[in-house]
C-alpha cells in the first residue's frame, strides 16, 4: 500500500486516520464515479477562493440531484481542522497544501445505475503538501497535443466537475504516448475547450483570450480571477470562441488552474507557439497570481488586497 500523503482525512464530519479503510466498496463513487469534487490551494491554513469552489460544487450537486447534509460552514471548518491536524496552517514559514473535497452519492448495494431513494452522500476532505510545477515546466514551458476525445458543449454534464474522469485519463495517456505533457480537448466542430485539468489562455498583442463559458469548459476559479485582474499585467481579457488557428497565431499561450496556477504552453501538436519559449506576460500573470495568493492568505479571510496595489508594491 502506498503511504498516504497526510496522516488524516475528514470523512462525514470526522477526522480519521488516513491509512485505514474508510468507505464501502458499494459506494457509488467507487462503483460508478457518481459524484462531484473540488480541488484548491491552501496557504497559511486559508483555502484560496474556497467560497467560489463551494458555490461551483453546489451547482454540480444540484445538476446531479444530490443532497448534501453538510453546510458550507461545516465544510470550511472541516478544511481548517484537517490543515491544522497536518500542521499545514502555519503562518511562517507558510503552510502550503492542496485540498480536495469529494462528494459521492454514497452507499448503494443495489448495483443499479439509477440512484435509489433514501441514500446519503459520502463527503471526504483530503489534503496533500503543495508541489508547484516543476522548474523545467516553468523555464521551458509545456507541450500539448489535441485529444481524439471531443467535448459536446450541449451536454448537460459539460462543465460539471464530476468524479467520472475516464476521458481525462484517456487524454493523458494519449499525451504520454506522444511524449508531451498534456492534451487539449476540442468540440465536435473544432473549437478549443480546455486541457485535462486547466483552462487555456492565448495572448496576442495586448489581449488575453480564453474560451467562453458554454463551450464545454469548466468555469475555473483561476480563469475567473484572470478575467477580473488581467489588467494588472497590462492585458485586456476577452472570452470568445477559439480555434486551433488562434492558438498557432498567438504570441504566447498558457494554461491555468487552481492548484498549478498559470503555466506556459510552448507547442501544440508539434507546432511552436510564438518563439517557442515561455512568454514574459504569461509569467507575469503567474507572478501576479502567486503574489495575490500570498497576500490573501496573510489576510486570513479578510477582504483580498487589490491586485493593482499588489503589483505596484511588489516592484
**Among 129, 161, 179, residue at a domain's last position:** 129
Q: How many CB atoms lie within 10 A of CB 157?
A: 11
**Position 33 in a domain:** yes
**Position 47 in a domain:** yes
Do both 48 and 83 map to the same domain? yes
Do both 85 and 217 map to the same domain? no
- Provide the residue range defining the domain that includes 85: 8-129
- CATH number of the domain encompassing residue 231: 3.20.10.10
Do both 114 and 180 map to the same domain? no
DSSP string, 228-248: HHGGGGT-EEEEE--BHHHHH
**pLDDT of 117:** 77
**Position 306 in a domain:** no
Do both 95 and 237 map to the same domain? no
pTM metric for this prediction: 0.92
- CATH number of the domain encompassing residue 16: 3.30.470.10
Q: How far apart are CA 132 and CA 11, in angstroms?
A: 27
Mean pLDDT split into 10-residue runs, the chain, 315 residues? 83 95 92 96 96 96 94 96 95 95 93 84 97 96 98 93 96 98 97 97 95 93 91 88 97 97 98 96 95 91 38 30
Three-state DSSP class for residue 146: strand
DSSP-based helix, strand, coil % in the chain, nearest 5: 30, 30, 40
Total number of domains constituting the chain: 2
**276 backbone dihedrals φ, ψ, rounded to 5°:** 80, 10
Do both 167 and 35 map to the same domain? no
**pLDDT of 2:** 65
Q: How far apart are CA 28 and CA 24, in angstroms?
A: 9
Per the prediction, the chain carries an average pLDDT of 92
Cell numbers 514559514: residue: 93
**pLDDT of 302:** 39
Amino acid at each position: 500500500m502506498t503511504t498516504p500523503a497526510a496522516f488524516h482525512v475528514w470523512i462525514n464530519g470526522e477526522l480519521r486516520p488516513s491509512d485505514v479503510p474508510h468507505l464501502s466498496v458499494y459506494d457509488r463513487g467507487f462503483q460508478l464515479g457518481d459524484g462531484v469534487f473540488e480541488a484548491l490551494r491552501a496557504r497559511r491554513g486559508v483555502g484560496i477562493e474556497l467560497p467560489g469552489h463551494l458555490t461551483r460544487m453546489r451547482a454540480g450537486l444540484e445538476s446531479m440531484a444530490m443532497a448534501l447534509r453538510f453546510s458550507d460552514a461545516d465544510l470550511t471548518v472541516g478544511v481548517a481542522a484537517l490543515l491544522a491536524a497536518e500542521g499545514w496552517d502555519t503562518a511562517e514559514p507558510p503552510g502550503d497544501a492542496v485540498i480536495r473535497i469529494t462528494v459521492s452519492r454514497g452507499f448503494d448495494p443495489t448495483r443499479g445505475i439509477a440512484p435509489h431513494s433514501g441514500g446519503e452522500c459520502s463527503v471526504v476532505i483530503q489534503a496533500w503538501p503543495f508541489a508547484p510545477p516543476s522548474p523545467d515546466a516553468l523555464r521551458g514551458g509545456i507541450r500539448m497535443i489535441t485529444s481524439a476525445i471531443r467535448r459536446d458543449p450541449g451536454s448537460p454534464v459539460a462543465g460539471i466537475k464530476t468524479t467520472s474522469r475516464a476521458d481525462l485519463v484517456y487524454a493523458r495517456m494519449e499525451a504520454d504516448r506522444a511524449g508531451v505533457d498534456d492534451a487539449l480537448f476540442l468540440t465536435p466542430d473544432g473549437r478549443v475547450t480546455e486541457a485535462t485539468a486547466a483552462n487555456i489562455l492565448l495572448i496576442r498583442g495586448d489581449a488575453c483570450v480564453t474560451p467562453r463559458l458554454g463551450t464545454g469548459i469548466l468555469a475555473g476559479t483561476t480563469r475567473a480571477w484572470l478575467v477580473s485582474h488581467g489588467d494588472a499585467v497590462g492585458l485586456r481579457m476577452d472570452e470568445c470562441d477559439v480555434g486551433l488557428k488562434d492558438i498557432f497565431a498567438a504570441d504566447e499561450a498558457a494554461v491555468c488552474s487552481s492548484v498549478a496556477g498559470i503555466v506556459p504552453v510552448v507547442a501544440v501538436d508539434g507546432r511552436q507557439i510564438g518563439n517557442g519559449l515561455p512568454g514574459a506576460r504569461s509569467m507575469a500573470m503567474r507572478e501576479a497570481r502567486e503574489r495575490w495568493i500570498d497576500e490573501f492568505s496573510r489576510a486570513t479571510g479578510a477582504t483580498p488586497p487589490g491586485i493593482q496595489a499588489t503589483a505596484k508594491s511588489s516592484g
